[in-house]
Chains A and B, each alone.
Chain A
Amino acid sequence: MNTSTTAGQPPVPPSPRRHLLALGALTSAAAMVLSGCASESGDGTSASTTITELDYYTDEQGSAAWHEALSTCENQTGVTVERQEVPPDQMLQQVLQQVGSNSLPDLIFIDNPQLQQVAETGALTPLSDYTIDTEGYYDSITEAGTYEGQLYGLAPGVNGLALFYNKTYFQEAGIEPPTTWEELSSAAAELTTGDRYGLAFSAIDGEEGTWQFLPFFWSNGAQLDELDSPEAVEALGYVTGLVEEGSVSSSVLEWNQNDVADQFVAGHTAMMVNGSWNLARLQEEQELDYGVVPIPVPEAGDEPVVALGGEVGAIPATDPESQEAAAQVLDCLLSPDVLMDWSSSHAYVPAREELAQTMAEDNEQMAPFVEEVATARSRTSELGSSYPDTSSALIKAVQSALVGDQSPAEALATAQESVAGES
C-alpha cells in the first residue's frame, strides 16, 4: 500500500514498516498453521464410495498385477480405490505412524507377521463384522491373520521359499537337484567354481534374513521358543558350514532377496533359496534355464517346513461407511476369479486350498511352492506379537555365526538369553 511512496526516499522512519513486517510474519505463520489443520480435517469427509488402500507391492511386476486386481474390483463393487504404495521396509513404520495420528487408510495389506503388531494396537476391526467368506483357506493362513481368537486379516495369496536351480550347470555337472541337506552341500561344493558360488540365500539383518533361515531351523525340528535347542544349533551349524566351505559367499550377510535373485540371473550362483514371486521376474530372462524344487530337508523323508509368507488384507476402524466399502473390495479381492488371476500374474500360491491345487497342476514351477504351503508355518503362531523380538535375536545369532564371531551354539545361547531377559 504505502510501499510505493516510501520506496524512493532514503531516510525511512523505521518503526511503522517493521510493524507491518512483523505482523505479516505472524499472520503468514498463523495461516500456515490453519491451512495445515484444514487439509487434515478434509480427508475424513470424502465421498463414501472412495476408499484409500495401502500396500507395499512396489516391484514392477507386483505393482502392475496388484493394480489390475484393484481395478477389477473397482468395476465390480463401484467403489473407487485410491492406492498408496510404500517400500516394504517402511510399511510397518508408516502404519504405526498412521495408527498414532488416527489417519489409517480404509484397507491395508501388510506382511502377515506384522498383522499381530497392528492388531495389538486395537486399530483394526475383526473380519467377522462384515460379510466376508472365510471358508476354504489353508489353516496356516487363517492362523496368521488371527489375533487373540479373532480373525483380522486374510490373504488372497501366499508365498514360501523353495530352491531354484540352474539347469544348465546341473546338466554340465551331471547331478540331480538336491533333496536333503547332505545332497545340497555336496551339490553346492561341486558347482562352486572360480567365479561362481554353489548356493546363495539372504542372511541380511532384519526380518528378511530370519525368514530365509527359518526353513532350515524349522525343518530340523527347532522351535522359536527355544532358540538354543540342539536342533537349532545343528541347523545353524549346517548353514554356517556352507559358508565356511566356500560354497556360499559371505556376501549373503548383505544381500537381500532381490540381490540374491540378481546373482542367480547373472549366473554367479548355481542355486538360490528364494520366494515364488521371483518366478514372475525370471520368466523374462529368456536365456536362463532353471527349475524349482522344495527346500532340501535334513534327512530323506522329512517334510520341509517353510515360513508362510504373504500379505494379509485388514480393515482399520475408520468410519462405518468406509469400512463397509473396504469390506466389499476385500471380499472381491478374495473372490476365486480375482484371486486366481492375481496369484498367477504375481506368482503367489492362491490362499484357497482348492485353487492352489489347480494351480499346481497347471504350473510345474509353482508346484513345489504349493506343496510347501500345506506344511508351512505362520511365524506368529508360536509367539504371537512377541515374534519380532525373537526374530531380531535369531538373525543376529545367524550373522554372528556366519562371520565366525561365535560358534553356532554360543550365538544361539546369547540370542535365547536376550529374548528371555526381555520378557
Chain B
Amino acid sequence: MTSTQALPAPPTQSRRGGRPRPPRRSRTGLGRPWVALGFLLPTILYVVAFFGYPIYYNLSMSLRDFTVRSFYTGEAPFVGLDNYTAVISDPVFGQTVLNTVLFTVGSLFFQFVIGLALAVFFRHNFPLSGLLRSLLLLPWLLPLVVSGALWKWILAQDYGVLNQTLEGLALVSSPVPWLTSTEWALISVTLVNVWIGIPFNMVILYGGLQAIPESLYEAAFLDGAGPWQAFRNVTLPLLRPVIAVVLMLGLVYTIKVFDVIMVLTGGGPAQASETLTTWSYALSFDEFAFGQGAAVGNLLIVVALVFALIYLRSVRRSMKEEQ
C-alpha cells in the first residue's frame, strides 16, 4: 500500500512510453486507498455480517445458559466454560469424537484412493471415456438429501435392494442390519459418504494429472521405468500440491458432514453413528441445550480452522515454489 501511494500522479500514455515499468504499473489507479476500500467494502461487510457475526454469536451462546426462553427475553446468564465442561464430561463425548475421527479418516482414505485410481484410469482416452467420466460425477450433482434418501432405501434391512441382492447371490444367510445395528451403522454412513466424495477427488486429481507433461513419461519409459515406477516417481511427486489440496479440502468437508448422516440414521441407533455435527444438532434442537450445542459447534470450528490454516500455509508454500 504505502509504496504505491508514494508513486507520482496516475499514469498516462506518454509516461508509460517514456519510462518502462513492470506491467503491474498499469493498475496504479487502484492505489488510491479509498478506491481500493470501495471494492473491498462489500466483501468485508458480507464477511462480517454472514460469517463474523454468526461466529461471534455462537461463541457468546456457548458461554451462556441459553434456553428457549432466551430467544424471547434475550436473557442468558453468563456461565463461563460450564457448557464446555458439561459437553466434554458427557459420556457420549468420547464415543462421538471417536466416531467423527473414524468417519473422517475412513471417508478420506477411500475417497482419495478410489478417486486417484479412477483419475489415473481416465488419463488414457478410450472410447466413451468422456461419457463415463461425466456419469461418475453424478453423485456429486445430486443433492445430499436425495442421495441419503436413496441409500436409505437401498440399505433398508428387510426389503432393501442391497440385502435382496446379497441374499439372492447367497452371500449372506440373513439380512444385514446396515442401518439398524450399532456395528454397521457407522460403516454404512461412511460407505455412502465415500460414494458421494469420489467424484470430487477424481475431478481435482484428474485436473492435476492433465498438467503433467507427457514428455516426462516418455523420458521415464526411455529410461526403462515400468508403469508403477512412472506412477511413483513421476505422477506422485508432481501431483503432490494437488493431493495436498484435495486431502485438506476433503478433510474440512468431511468433518462437517451432517445431512447424509441425518437422513440415513439420524446419528442412531443408540448414537452409534453420532458425530460431532449431529450431536451438536441433537443438543440444540432435541434437548434445547443451545449453549452446549454451540460449544460442540465451536469445537468443530476450531478443528476445521486448524486444518484450514495448515492448508493455507501449504498453498502459500507451493505458490512460492512455483515462482
Contacts and interface: CB of A to CB of B under 8 A. Distances in A.
A11 interface: yes
Given A122-B72, A122-B73, A251-B157, A18 B35 contact: yes
Contacts of A405: 182, 270, 272
13 contacts: A11-B13, A15-B32, A15-B35, A19-B35, A29-B41, A204-B268, A205-B269, A249-B157, A249-B158, A250-B181, A389-B287, A402-B269, A405-B270
A172 B150 CA distance: 36
Interface residues of A, number: 44
A96 B271 CA distance: 26
A392 B159 contact: no
B41 A26 contact: yes
A20 B201 CA distance: 41
Interface residues of B, number: 45
A398 to B, nearest CB: 9
Interface string B257-271: 000000001111111
Q: Top 10 closest A-B pairs, CB basis?
A: A22-B38, A121-B72, A100-B71, A400-B270, A15-B29, A14-B29, A399-B270, A253-B269, A205-B268, A253-B180
A338 to B, nearest CB: 31
A414 B92 CA distance: 11
B165 interface: no
A15 B34 CA distance: 12
Given A18-B30, A26-B42, 8 more contacts: A25-B39, A122-B73, A206-B286, A251-B156, A251-B157, A388-B288, A389-B287, A422-B289
B30 A403 contact: no
B92 to A, nearest CB: 9
Interface of B: 10, 13, 26-27, 29-30, 32, 35, 38-39, 41-42, 45, 67-69, 71-73, 90-91, 152, 156-159, 177, 179-182, 265-272, 282, 285-289
Contacts of B268: 204-205, 253-254, 399
Grouping DSSP codes into helix (H, G, I), strand (E, B) and loop, the A interface class, with mixed when no group exceeds half, is helix
A251 B152 CA distance: 11
A10 to B, nearest CB: 11
Nearest to B37: A22
Interface in A390-423: 392, 396, 399-400, 402-403, 405, 414, 418, 422
Contacts of B288: 117, 388
Contacts of B68: 96, 99, 117-118, 120-121, 385
Contacts of B91: 414, 418
A288 B80 CA distance: 60
Interface string A1-41: 00000000001001100110011011001000000000000
A176 to B, nearest CB: 27
Nearest to A402: B269
B35 A403 contact: no
Contacts of B289: 422
A96 B13 CA distance: 62
A92 interface: yes
Contacts of A206: 266, 286
Contacts of A79: none
Contacts of B26: 14
A230 B152 CA distance: 36
A210 B291 CA distance: 24
Contacts of B41: 26, 29
A278 to B, nearest CB: 20
A418 B91 CA distance: 9
Given A15-B35, A26-B38, A250-B157, A403 B181 contact: yes
Contacts of A96: 68, 71
A403 B178 CA distance: 12
Nearest to B292: A422
Contact of B287 (A29, A392, A400, A414): A392
Nearest to B179: A254
Given A22-B35, A93-B285, A120 B266 contact: no
A399 B269 CA distance: 6
Contacts of B180: 250-251, 253-254, 403
**Which has the most chain A C-beta neighbours within 10 Å: B39, B72, B179, B265?**
B72
A123 interface: yes
Contacts of A422: 289
Contacts of A388: 286-288
B71 A268 contact: no
B300 to A, nearest CB: 20
Given A14-B26, A250-B157, A251-B156, A99 B271 contact: no
A32 B9 CA distance: 36
Contacts of B32: 15
A268 B73 CA distance: 50
B16 to A, nearest CB: 10
Contacts of A25: 38-39, 42
B88 to A, nearest CB: 13
B39 A396 contact: no
A398 B237 CA distance: 53
